[in-house]
Amino acid sequence: MKNKVVVGMSGGVDSSVAAYLLKEQGYEVIGVTMQIWQDEKELQKDENGACCGLLAVEDARRVAQYLQIPYYVMNFKKEFKEKVMDYFVDEYLHGRTPNPCIACNRYVKWESLLQRSIGIGADYIATGHYARIRQLANGRYAVCKSATDQKDQTYALYNLTQYQLAHTLMPVGEYEKEEIRTLAKKAGLPVAQKPDSQEICFIPDNDYAGFIDREAGERVPGPGNFVTSSGEVIGQHKGITHYTVGQRKGLQLAMGHPVFVTRIHPDTNEVVIGEGEDVFSCELFCDRINYMGMEELQGTKRVLAKIRYGHKGAYGVIEKVGEDRIRCRFEESVRAVTPGQAVVFYENECVLGGGTIL
């Protein structure tokens, strides 16, 4: 019996090549596009053109037909709303800056898709991520850096469980980005040369605050004070959901020199403003820990820590300081440690674990 694998297909190059590679490797491949947020009302609002969600379905379906694999659209709107959109809004209301892609990966792409895929008889799910899954010497599964340097996607995958990793394939991780494009061309895959999108998929206009206003309505705290670290009021802000730690632009404060957001206090509805050096920290704390390559943290450990997507990483020493709390002391201070973002710990290019910055 051939192993069955469900490939999550977005209609883009990477996941299309993932499906192609697995089919070549002899798997019985089923293509699935996850419908996650486009709802009918939004469809109707978009009167000027087809919406992105449906275009993705069309592209993915075309690839599946070309590869002669069965293809389905699965509805994950409910999971996505609860686990990603509501979480996103809630974190902002609490003065934090969330990373919705991490939540989506853990709870929607993996938890829900994997469960439903196993439900329809699959052994694995697969994606087009640039990452590799390795079983380490200690027997644990970890996400490790892919062959390509330019497109490391391990950061957003740190929160996957051992069970999820054991049932996941990431065939694209073995290749360079350019090789994937070449493979797509060689295989004749009918995929658009779409640029990779950077914005958050459910906020295509990039107006986070506007999105939160629409979603949260009355729960959105109104304007409040900009204060200095000593508590001196220096101006009015538009509402804490408009700001993130490290932000300089759009503060509309005439201080005569660049100032930055250094903290957000949801309880007092204050945004703390500081000078350049105030945005640097030499340590951070995190909770909501997920252990990946290491089973448990004992004593101290020197790791490379990434504090946001695209951060090249900084060396530091981690130590458990509570049941679900880790402190990371950096060797050199890092800029804009942002509550709500993930910190991910690496050793030898593999993810040991990570948590949410406090």
Active site residues: 104, 201
Q: Measured on CA atoms in the order 316, 321, 322, 327, is the torsion positive or negative?
A: negative
What residues contact residue 144 under an 8 Å CB cut-off, 6+ apart? 131, 132, 133, 134, 154, 348, 349, 350, 351
Token pair in block for residue 325: 């709390």
Nearer to another protein, 161 or 268 (CB): 161
Check binding of 161 to another protein (CB under 8 A): no
Q: Please say which residue, 54 or 314, places its beta carbon nearer to another protein.
A: 54
Contact between 150 and another protein by CB under 8 A: the answer reads no
Kind and range of the H or E element at 354? Answer: strand 350-357
* The only residue of 19, 21, 57, 156 in contact with another protein, by rule CB under 8 A: 57
Strands 124-126 and 325-335 come out as unpaired
Determine which residue in the list 1, 26, 44, 230 makes contact with another protein, applying CB under 8 A. Answer: 44
Spatial distance between the Cα atoms of 119 and 274, rounded to a whole number of angstroms: 53
> Does 116 sit near another protein (CB under 8 A)?
yes
117 — phi, psi (to 5°)?
-70, -40
DSSP collapsed to 3 states, 79-101: HHHHHHHHHHHHHHHCCCCCCHH
Q: Which of 1, 26, 68, 119 binds another protein (CB under 8 A)?
A: 119
Q: Does 52 bind another protein (CB under 8 A)?
A: no
Site for another protein in 69-98 (CB under 8 A): 70, 72-75, 77
Phi, psi of 65 (to 5 degrees): -65, -40
User: Does 50 engage in binding with another protein (CB under 8 A)?
Assistant: no
Is there binding between residue 103 and another protein (CB under 8 A)? no
How many residues bind another protein (CB under 8 A)? The answer is 18
Pick the stretch among 114-122, 167-175, 225-233, 323-331 that binds another protein (CB under 8 A).
114-122
Binding site for another protein (CB under 8 A): 35, 39-40, 44, 54, 57, 70, 72-75, 77, 115-116, 118-121
